[in-house]
């Protein structure tokens, strides 16, 4: 049972994880127990773990953040023994070196750094670089056969491995791709694809059915993209009302010209009539 301090701290860390996930890692608490966090680590490029996907768990004590968590990795990696606690400076093997200021992001970043090293400790194994690469190539197919992986990360359980929210692009000076994080999942639905295509196509008269509200099957973030695409589309197409206004312009101009012609003729006739009357009156006098 989590203490109030642990509950509050871990809730804040989950928000921070969603807002700024560290490079190559992602984690989320178990829905039933906030003290248990499942994590994913992706092997960085230019490492023996490149292309690998590694699932593990952080087991926080109720006294967190004043005591460190236990750490396990389930996916075979050639670096750690599957489903066995790992000993390193931020785990419960070293409570004396634990710093309460450390967070989930700090722990996982440290674990990734330790994974890339050759230091041996409790829970680690020795293997060659080719073996690590072989484990990395098989990691995702191994993960999606495990029930605990599918329960913890259903959105990552498809046959094709998906990138984590931060794949280190920012650190290399490149913009990150739109994240596929669990809590802020970006789903490119067919409606979004159609809206985006319409916004970049040549101007055309749009056809609308019903209201201007987005389809009801979109996620919250998808609705934002749908509305943005709709706004871009409305700025780049010719609207029906604009066509009606343009079609009505020549008719209105012709009517105005005709009225002006009649008005000028009437003024001329009136002027002549007044002039004739004045002339006759002057002659009689």
> What positions carry a catalytic annotation?
87
The answer for residues whose C-beta is within 8 angstroms of residue 99's C-beta and 6 or more apart is: none
For residues 246 and 58, give the distance between their C-alpha atoms in angstroms, rounded to a whole number.
Answer: 66
The answer for residues whose C-beta is within 8 angstroms of residue 184's C-beta and 6 or more apart is: 18, 165, 221
Whether omega before 171 lies within 30 degrees of 0, making that bond cis, reads no
For residues 230 and 284, give the distance between their C-alpha atoms in angstroms, rounded to a whole number.
Answer: 80
Per DSSP, what are the bridge partners of residue 39?
27, 56
Q: What is the dihedral of CA 82, 60, 38, 126, to 10 degrees?
A: -20
């Amino acid at each position: 049972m989590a203490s109030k301090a642990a509950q509050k701290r871990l809730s804040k860390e989950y928000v921070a994880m969603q807002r700024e996930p560290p490079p190559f890692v992602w984690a989320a608490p178990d829905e039933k127990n906030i003290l248990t966090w499942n994590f994913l680590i992706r092997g960085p490029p230019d490492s023996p773990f490149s292309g690998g996907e590694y699932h593990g768990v952080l087991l926080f004590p109720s006294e967190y953040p004043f005591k460190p968590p236990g750490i396990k990795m389930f996916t075979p990696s050639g670096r750690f023994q599957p489903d066995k606690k790992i000993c390193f400076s931020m785990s419960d093997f070293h409570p004396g070196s634990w710093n309460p200021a450390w967070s989930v992001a700090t722990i996982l970043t440290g674990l990734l750094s330790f994974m890339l090293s050759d230091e041996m400790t409790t829970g680690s194994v020795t293997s060659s670089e080719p073996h690590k690469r072989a484990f990395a190539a098989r990691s995702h197919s191994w993960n999606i056969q495990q029930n605990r992986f599918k329960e913890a990360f259903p959105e990552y359980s498809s046959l094709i491995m998906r990138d984590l929210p931060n794949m280190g692009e920012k650190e290399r000076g490149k913009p990150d791709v739109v994240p596929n994080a669990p809590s802020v999942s970006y789903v490119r639905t067919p409606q979004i694809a159609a809206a985006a295509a319409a916004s970049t196509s040549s101007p055309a008269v749009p056809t609308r059915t019903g209201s201007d509200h987005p389809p009801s099957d979109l996620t919250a973030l998808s609705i934002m993209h749908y509305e943005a695409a709709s706004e871009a589309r409305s700025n780049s197409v010719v609207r029906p009302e604009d066509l009606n206004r343009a079609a009505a312009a020549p008719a209105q101009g012709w009517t105005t010209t005709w009225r002006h012609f009649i008005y000028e003729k009437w003024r001329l006739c009136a002027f002549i009539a007044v002039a004739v009357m004045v002339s006759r009156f002057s002659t009689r006098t």
